[in-house]
Structure 1
Amino acid sequence: MESVKVKQLLDAYFEGKTSLSEEKMLQDYFNNKTVADDLVQYKPIFAGLKAARAEKSSKVFVLPDTKSRTIKSWWYAVAAMVVVAFGVGSFYFSQPNYSQEEKEALAAFEKSKEAMLLLSENFNKGTEQLSFVGQFGKTKDKIFE
């Protein structure tokens, strides 16, 4: 492989724009014994990558059982649905169902409540007028003394 093409592949490699086949060509070139003098500085990089690929771990890994985890999440979903259903059902059934007689009685109660409020407002206006009469009486007593 000529030196100019290798330099172009190296630039693309360091920018992350090479394909797997181009990277394989670079690895083959730098793992070969004949490397151009101006590219010798890159040889340790590819030698290190080759050594890292050959490494194997002797440690035994034990993975936790994932089956129990999925069962728990399934039960959580069921429990959440039951709670939501209970909440909606209790809200629906807590609404009062009045008979026609009870509805009429409630309407009559509301009308009588409005009438009592109107009477109370008018009574309060009359009480204000009486306070003026009381003031008039005190002033009259002072004058006739």
Structure 2
Amino acid sequence: MELGKVEKLIKKYEEGKTSLAEEQQIKNYFSHHDVPAHLEPYGWMFNYTAAAKTETFHREIPPVGKSQKKNYLWMSIAATIVLAIGIFIYQEKDNNSGLNKMGMTSEQEMAYNQAKQTLLMVSGYMNEGKEELVYIKEFNKTANKYINLK
């Protein structure tokens, strides 16, 4: 095939206007001929796609033996024991955290409740101040109308 014809087919290929027969001609050219230096990247592309079509995927599932089943058994037993210990420790911590021996709340919990009340009060005042900002927005809209008219 002539070099000029190949270049025209490649240009057509890049525009997406080639037929399957024309694409096959291009693939045959790059697989059977000595390719000029300026067309080498196209040769690599067409040769790669031709090679990729022949590749297949074979998934091999390894057999599960008795030793692996025993490992799963021991791992599940160990996980159950760790989970039971974690639940026991969490319940003990939960029982002791709320009240001390005299039935009083701890200092940390009292400080947390006080901070929570203070923040709620501040939030209330901030929300009251925010309501007044609606009037400023309306004023800005009106001012912008008059500024844009000039």
Shared fold (TM-score, shorter chain, > 0.5): no
TM-score by length of 1: 0.38
TM-score by length of 2: 0.37
Largest Rg, 1 or 2? 1
